[in-house]
Amino acid sequence: MKHVVVDPITRIEGHLRVEAQVDEATGKVTDALSSGTAWRGLELVMNGRDPRDAWAYIQRICGVCTTAHALASVRAVEDALGIKIPKNANYIRNIMAATLTVQDHIVHFYHLHALDWVSPVEALAADPIATANLQTTVLNAYRVHLAGPTSNWNTEAYPHDFPAATPQYFQAIKDKVKAIVESGQLGIFAAQWWDHPDYKLLPPEVHLLAVAHYLEMLDKQRELVTPHVVFGGKNPHPHYVVGGMPCSISLEDGNAPINTARLDIVDRAINMGRTLVNYYYLPDLLAIGATYVRAGRVDGGGMAKERVLAYGMYPMEDYQGTSEKSTGGFFKNLLVRCNGVVENFGAGVANATFTEITAKDMQDPEVFTESVEHAWYAYEKSDSDKLHPWDGQTKAKYTGPKDGTPTEWKALNEQGKYSWLKTPKWRGKLAEVGPLARYIIIYTKSAKGLLQNPTWAETFMLNQIQAVSNLLGLAPEVWLPTMVGRTAARALDCQLAAEINKFFFDKLIANIKSGDTAVCNMDRFDPATWPKSAMGVGVYEAPRGGLSHWIHIENGKTKNYQCVVPTTWNACPRDDQAGQGAYEKAMMDTHIAVPDKPLEIAKVIRSFDPCMACATHMYNAKGEKIGVITTDPFGGTRVE
């Protein structure tokens, strides 16, 4: 039995460590641990602060998810105070959310995950002429030809960002990559097991094609977030305001934050997102994924086979609040009604069960809880307690590793505490969240006749699933709950978000044309209008999955603030009663060919798109100035 450690495993933000026990004879993972290795305590920073400023502080949890936390935060405060936002504000927020999803998924696939599938070293053997021909083949064979309800409202004369398909282009890319490899300084292509047999699954031309698109997306991805800059003033960390959005609208004033010229800029960015996902991302992903499936690589599903969870996404309009403390209208006005839990999907959709998540559930202490049995935190009464987020506590209790020193761990203590992540639970059970969860839920609801009068977006999702099933020749319940399926669902989610972006942009334009330019409801912005005590929750289907922010306001200040984020759901430590979380389950459902080079572990973990900063719950108990800490001083990949 080999003890395998990969630390850090993430290409972004670094602070995730995984350990696995691998049977060298069979390649089976017999046990696995997932550990968040940093703590920041943003929830504690919020205590005593004005809840109207919560979005600005709390979205500093992460510079990647950025606007996701601001959106969940303002929704939480608005839920607590009973604030209903204007139509334009809802449309703009949905545009910003869809924009984040498109950009985040594209960056994840090309820059955080692609090098687990393709290699610049293998690309050196590619024939540029064959690669150019392959580009045409990929577009013909792997494009998913679907369009949203606004497909006829295309304001672009032609797709400006279309994949190049000439031998000269690919020769130039090959020459560039060759110079990097021969220099011995791989730079952005460093730190990988390039001699792993997985890289031989794909022909050299696929490697060259994907590396070329990797480099292209380094430039293109930054333009996708233009709507954040226009509507929110900047990116990362665009501005919001409790009650709506801070960007006033005028189609006559050239100096107005939102005018015809700036709306045109937003439109161009949205159209670019649609082009990039339809002509680059989705065809590239499906071409690679189909090869893996044909090779029998349908493992890595883990928790997705057992239980997935989502809150639902993109509220339409005229809704107010998330919990029954308000009106709970969020769950009644969703464009994508994936609010619920599907269990036992791995046994086939006929054996799967669906349970809806409602406004009432959000305030029920028996439905949503967090525990800290194996997390470096302590609860006042007992570490075995399960607390509802409104009652949540964030008190550090670091115990160190089982073997090693506080600064150089050798082995985590699976019997004790081993992570800075808490363990979220739904009705006492663990669940996987993310794009895969959303697609499994919509598919299951439809198959069981529970998706009454599907919206255009839900129909779009079902058509996507069917298209991929036809391509792979497999039923959805076979390919979806796998590592390839999880990666494919993210690409499908990106395509859906690109169409949703255009959908809400067109609704915004139509509403402005009708004469409605309101972007903010200030009726309850003054604390004098607030109740003495109020609690609220804001939910959002972030790129990585279900996100919830919980706030307790008392005497105009934040009394308690808790974030239950997607990576906490997926990367959480095990629970003595509920078992292991999604990361740990996925590793145990993955075959390892070469334990000394556990590329498969890196691939399956990165299929979740880990964002550990959000999940880390640094503060000084004496209120002294916080210092800057560099985590993982002994980082790198280590196999023991």
CA-based max dimension of the chain: 72
Measured between alpha carbons, how far is 316 from 335 in angstroms, rounded to an integer?
6
- Which is nearest to 560 in space by CA: 170, 189, 58, 125? 58
Question: For residue 330, which of 79, 532, 524 has the smallest C-alpha distance?
Answer: 79
Whole-number Å distance between alpha carbons of 164 and 221: 17
pLDDT at 623 > cutoff 70: no
Q: Is the pLDDT of residue 290 over 80?
A: yes
Model pLDDT for residues 310-331, shown as the tens digit of each residue: 999 999 987 888 887 777 889 9
Q: What is the pLDDT of residue 612?
A: 63
The percent of residues above 70 in pLDDT, for the chain, comes to 94
124: in domain: yes
Q: What is the pLDDT of residues 382-394, one digit of tens each?
A: 988 999 999 999 8
pLDDT at 620 over 90: no
Q: What band does 408 get if pLDDT is binned at 50, 70 and 90?
A: confident
**Measured between alpha carbons, how far is 306 from 89 in angstroms, rounded to an integer?**
37
Q: What residues pair up with 533 in beta bridges, in sequence order?
A: 554
* Helix (H) or strand (E) segment spanning residue 410: strand 409-411
State residue 622's pLDDT score.
44
Asked, for residue 373, whether it belongs to a domain, the answer is: no
Give the C-alpha separation, 455 to 310, whole Å. Answer: 17
pLDDT in tens, 120-163: 999 999 999 999 999 999 999 999 989 888 766 677 777 788 99
CATH code, domain with 448: 1.10.645.10
Residue 612 and residue 13 in contact, taking contact as beta carbons nearer than 8 Å:
yes
- Would the pLDDT of 491 be above 70? yes
pLDDT at residue 624 is higher than 70: no
pLDDT at 619 over 60: no
Kindly tell me the sign of the dihedral angle through the C-alpha atoms of 632, 634, 636, 639.
negative
Domain annotation covers residue 358: yes
Average pLDDT over residues 492-505: 97
**Residue 551, SS3 per DSSP:** strand
User: pLDDT tens digits, residue range 551-597?
Assistant: 999 999 999 999 999 999 999 999 999 999 999 999 999 999 999 99
Q: Is the pLDDT of residue 216 over 60?
A: yes
Residue 628: its pLDDT value, please? Answer: 33
pLDDT for residue 634:
31
Instruction: Return the pLDDT at 185.
Output: 78
pLDDT, residue 152, reads 64
Going by pLDDT thresholds of 50, 70 and 90, the confidence category of residue 631 is: very low
Q: Is residue 380 part of a domain?
A: no
Distances (CA, A) of 402 to 16, 110, 412, 417, 624: 17, 36, 5, 9, 31
Q: Is the pLDDT of residue 627 over 50?
A: no
Question: What does the pLDDT read at residue 212?
Answer: 97
Residues 20-38, mean pLDDT to the nearest whole number: 94
Average pLDDT over residues 350-373: 96
Residue 278 DSSP one-character state: I
Q: Radius of gyration (Cα) for the chain, nearest Å?
A: 24
Predicted pLDDT at 640: 39
pLDDT tens-digit series, residues 182-202:
888 777 777 688 999 999 999
Query: What is the CA angle 614-85-495, rounded to 5?
Result: 55
Give the pair of three-digit tokens for residue 375.
Answer: 């997390």
The C-alpha atoms of residue 181 and residue 175 are separated, in whole angstroms, by 10
Q: How confident is the model at residue 203 (pLDDT cuts 50, 70, 90)?
A: very high
Residue pair 433/542 in contact (Cβ under 8 Å)? The answer is no
Q: With contact defined as beta carbons under 8 Å apart, do 594 and 196 qualify?
A: yes
Residue 554's φ and ψ, nearest 5 degrees, are -140, 130
For tokens 């995984």, name the residue. Answer: 18
Residue 406 maps to a domain: no
Domain count, the chain: 1
Please give the pLDDT value at position 476.
97
Label residue 252 by pLDDT band (50, 70, 90): confident
At 217, give phi and psi (nearest 5°).
-70, -20
What's residue 636's pLDDT? 39
Give just the sign of the alpha carbon dihedral 245, 251, 254, 260. positive
* Average pLDDT, integer, range 385-409: 91
Whether pLDDT at 422 is above 70: yes
On the question of pLDDT at 625 being above 50, the answer is no
Residue 615 has a pLDDT of 57
**What band does 410 get if pLDDT is binned at 50, 70 and 90?**
very high
Cβ neighbors of 182 (< 8 A, separation 6 or more) are none
For residue 459, give its domain range.
2-365+428-639
CA distances from 99 to 280, 467, 494, 625 (A): 17, 24, 9, 35
Residue 376 resides in a domain: no
The predicted structure's pLDDT at residue 13:
67
Domain membership flag for residue 260? yes
- Asked, for residue 416, whether it belongs to a domain, the answer is no
Distance CA 13, CA 635 (A): 12
Average per-residue pLDDT for the chain: 91
pLDDT, position 12: 72
